Amino acid sequence: MHELSIVQGVVELCEQHCGGRRVLAVTLEIGSLSGAVPEALEFCFEAATKGTLLEGAELEIERVEATGYCSDCGVVSPVETYFDSCPSCGAPALLLRTGEEMRVKDLEVE
């Protein structure tokens, strides 16, 4: 359950940036290959925010779809797994461009 440590990271970041104000909403950007499961993050969020400035805040999760760059043909394509081959030329490996992010995008404070 490393989602709990991830949510604790979110709480820390928010408390650093919210200037002591109550946080109403948080938006995260979570890549589809990041290994973090949105449902599990939501599940941990309430417990992890209790007694913090984030208590009761809304959690908004924006999914970032994975894309990969093909160094053979130069095309960027959507990626579903770490081992997709290039759909445009069949090259066996793609370099991930997006999909691994775990970011706090923004906050809404009182």
Residues of this chain that interact with Zn ion (CB under 5 A) are: 70, 72-73, 86, 88-89, 91
Helix (H) or strand (E) holding 96: strand 95-98
3-state class (DSSP) for residue 41: helix
Number of other CB atoms surrounding residue 49 within 10 Å:
21
Minimum CB distance to another protein smaller for 87 or for 108: 108
Minimum CB distance to Zn ion smaller for 52 or for 85: 85
Compute the least distance from the CB of residue 102 to another protein, in Å: 5
Compute the least distance from the CB of residue 93 to another protein, in Å: 5
Residue 86 binds which of another protein, Zn ion, none (CB < 5-8 A, kind-dependent): Zn ion
d(CA 24, CA 22): 6
d(CA 10, CA 15): 9
Check residue 64 for interaction with another protein (CB under 8 A).
Answer: no
